[in-house]
Structure 1
């Protein structure tokens, strides 16, 4: 039934029968199993959608652009946290594959989860990789999710230096993603993901005292209750200082960081986590984050 509703919503949206606002309300119903109130929001999903449609999103195309956001990070005095950039191209035809190092990470500046991790260039299928990015560059990300700021991002491809996975605790097969929830510059929760595969990831939510909160997550075949706990990073204070600076003045943002040894690296700023349809947290946690998200006007009455 959910797939059928999604299909119908997709068709109606492409036929311009539905506006982005109406599409988002239907998507919210399908994903979150309740009809939303975007004008008078309560939980964090509703408040993210309020910001999408009624808030000041003038900076969002920069925050969401994985290339342009690098300048913003530098302006915040955190240029030393940027992963070294190997190259930036507007089309696959511009890429000099011979000039690339043996290992790299390649992605679109406006993408989500469509990253190519090359650990050995001699084994990389370049033609398949080119087709992958050609398709991504044409993808319209804002149509079905109501994330209109993505339409203002000029798509490009970037390649960054690969970070050393062997430095990760928990014997993680992927970099541990420290997804920190920041409320007007105040970090309060960290959603860790590790051992990430295409259809599987270990996840855990920690508070600022690094207490594990399994009661705030919805455990599925994709997001799995971990046997191990992620240890508190030795550079925790430095990590929190960085996300605090990046999130200052923003009602709510998810700021993703990596840690290699005691060196922190910037990942991305996500203004619309799961487009504001997050179904991997419990309603209790969504309500809790909603209470902490103070919007610029009194829209909760």
Structure 2
């Protein structure tokens, strides 16, 4: 019965996925999605998700795969911007726990939020069990973001980045349009902090409706290099958010995000939806 249920789910995936995306946009915005003539940022974001869901586009699959994207980063900006990769594989039972450093991070390549931070002794059996559960999941089904549908699950064991903050490292998220950073969003690990600035680090009157403004964050000394790295990785893409860490002056790639928060947010003030929508000249996808 489970196999039949899975087959039915996949057969109805395209129709059901578009219905869910359109309903979600209506719930957030209070109006129907205009796929032909989208205006605001949110509408363009949902248009992207709908069209990728329709066409089964794999255009961004390798770039959201946290393992495969490493090759792209190394080729475009150099492997010095990558975390140290201690181990990777598909069987968590083969993780060489005894050979790893005292501090490291275990995560999957195919989803968001599936991270285990290790700093000292751990229950290895419990970690293996958790990872096995995560590997069975297809992240597409969470919010119908099709770029995740064909990512083959894998485990990554990476160095633990520490910028000295209790809730760090800070995550610098550069919203890039046609390869140009337009807005920089700064967040911490638990998302207790959310701060928006322009590319020159001038504070912006911009927030997410469900969050609220955070205290100011000091401008990184190597901000220009961060912008250059993000612009290079975003080149040729109409919109992508490039996430970077900055650990004591060392810039480290985090990930590339094509549908932030699966579109489930509102800007405050709402005028930012039109401002960022105008910055997004959409391609045919």
TM-score, normalized by length of structure 1?
Answer: 0.83
Structure 1 residues not aligned, in runs of 5+: 1-11
Change (3 A) 1:14 1:74: closer
- Spell out the pairing of 1:257-268 with structure 2 (5 A cutoff): 257-268=244-255
Structure 2 residues not aligned, in runs of 5+: 1-7
TM-score, normalized by length of structure 2?
Answer: 0.88
Name the stretch that deviates more: 53-62 or 39-48.
53-62
Name the stretch that deviates more: 20-29 or 278-287.
278-287
SS in structure 2 opposite 1:152? coil
Residues 250-270 of structure 1: CA deviation (Å, up to 9, x unaligned): 000011000012210000001
The question of 1:284 aligning with 2:265 is answered no
Change (3 A) 1:113 1:278: same
User: CA shift at 1:282, angstroms?
Assistant: 4.2
User: CA shift at 1:130, angstroms?
Assistant: 1.9
2:239 to 252, 260, 263: 252
Residues 220-257 of structure 1: CA deviation (Å, up to 9, x unaligned): 4xx3532x311111000000000000000100001100
2:124 to 118, 123, 126: 126
User: CA shift at 1:92, angstroms?
Assistant: 1.4
Residues 53-81 of structure 1: CA deviation (Å, up to 9, x unaligned): 33684431111000000000011033210
Q: 1:119, 1:144 → 2: CA distance?
A: 30
- Spell out the pairing of 1:129-278 with structure 2 (5 A cutoff): 129-166=127-164, 171=165, 173-194=167-188, 196-197=189-190, 200-213=191-204, 215-218=205-208, 220=210, 223-226=211-214, 228-278=215-265
Question: Is the 8 Å Cα contact of residues 78 and 242 (structure 1) preserved in structure 2?
Answer: no
Q: What's the C-alpha RMSD, in Å, of the aligned pairs? A: 2.4
Give the aligned partner of residue 4 of structure 2. none
SS in structure 1 opposite 2:141? coil
User: CA shift at 1:95, angstroms?
Assistant: 1.5
Name the stretch that deviates more: 52-61 or 254-263.
52-61
1:53 to 43, 50, 55: 50
SS in structure 2 opposite 1:127? helix
Change (3 A) 1:126 1:280: farther
User: CA shift at 1:212, angstroms?
Assistant: 1.4
Q: 1:186, 1:91 → 2: CA distance?
A: 39
SS in structure 2 opposite 1:182? strand
SS in structure 2 opposite 1:52? helix
